[in-house]
Amino acid sequence: MSLQKGQSLSLTKQNGDSLTNVRLGLGWDSAVPAKRGFFGGTKTVEIDLDASAILFDARGQHLDTVFFQQLTSKDGSIRHTGDNLTGEGDGDDETLIVNLQSVSEAVAHIVFVITSYSQQTFDMIQNAFCRVIDDSVAGSPEVARYDLSESGRYTAMIMSKLSRNGGVWMFQAVGAPTNGRTAIDVRGAAASVI
């Protein structure tokens, strides 16, 4: 299902079961034209963005952050698969794996952000997306996708969030621009969307 900015989707299957293991994939491409190299070839400008997850309780208090300097949440429920320094290649550039059943009971919101450590701005990227994949079933189908259509002179984007209401997790496309080099820098902005 393709979501628009602000839309939400329940992560409950049609049979009433909740998704248990999801993968959040984030991707992007360079929008800067390729440059001619010294020997006649072309080289695409590398765009280094970082995907992160910021965890909050129901009152909006920060609990934990998963990013390139801390690849696993304190409770072990969220794992970052590693830093992609260029954004090259098809598909997901960075991935966060979430075991929803293992997320600490204290966590009410998981906010997913993309930041530009090298301070490249979002007007230098295109085709940015965030998608939720159901890893709890064979074939790992895509459940929801949010394609970011905006660009601008900002260095971070709050892409989406997972929010828990009782035992049900909801995915929401956020698409809120902000500025910051790391997830630590955008913690306040992330708290404002919960």
pLDDT in tens, 40-82: 655 556 677 889 999 999 999 999 999 999 999 999 999 999 7
Query: What would the mean pLDDT of 22-42 be, rounded to a whole number?
Result: 71
**Is 138 a residue whose pLDDT tops 50?**
yes
Supply 86's token pair.
């260029």
More confident residue, 150 or 182: 182
State the chain's mean pLDDT as an integer.
85
Domains and CATH numbers, the chain: 2-32+41-191 (2.60.60.30)
Cα(71)–Cα(52) distance, rounded to whole angstroms? 9
pLDDT value at residue 86: 45
Query: What would the mean pLDDT of 26-47 be, rounded to a whole number?
Result: 66
Supply 148's token pair.
């970011």
Cα(182)–Cα(51) distance, rounded to whole angstroms? 9
Q: Which of 125, 72, 120 is nearest to 99 (CA)?
A: 72
Residue 62 burial class via C-beta count within 10 angstroms: exposed 0-12, middle 13-18, buried 19 and up: middle
More confident residue, 14 or 158: 158
Query: What would the mean pLDDT of 114-142 be, rounded to a whole number?
Result: 86
Supply 153's token pair.
């002179």
Q: What percentage of the chain reaches a pLDDT higher than 70?
A: 85
Bridge partners of 110? 55, 162
Q: What percentage of the chain reaches a pLDDT higher than 90?
A: 42
pLDDT value at residue 85: 46
Q: Are strands 142-147 and 125-134 parallel, antiparallel or unpaired?
A: antiparallel
**Is 7 a residue whose pLDDT tops 90?**
no
Give the dihedral sign, CA 16/18/19/24.
positive
More confident residue, 129 or 67: 67
CA count, 13 A, side-chain hemisphere, 84: 24
Sheet holding 109-116, edge to edge: 8-10, 168-178, 156-165, 109-116, 49-56, 62-66
Place of tokens 């300097």: 69
More confident residue, 10 or 25: 25
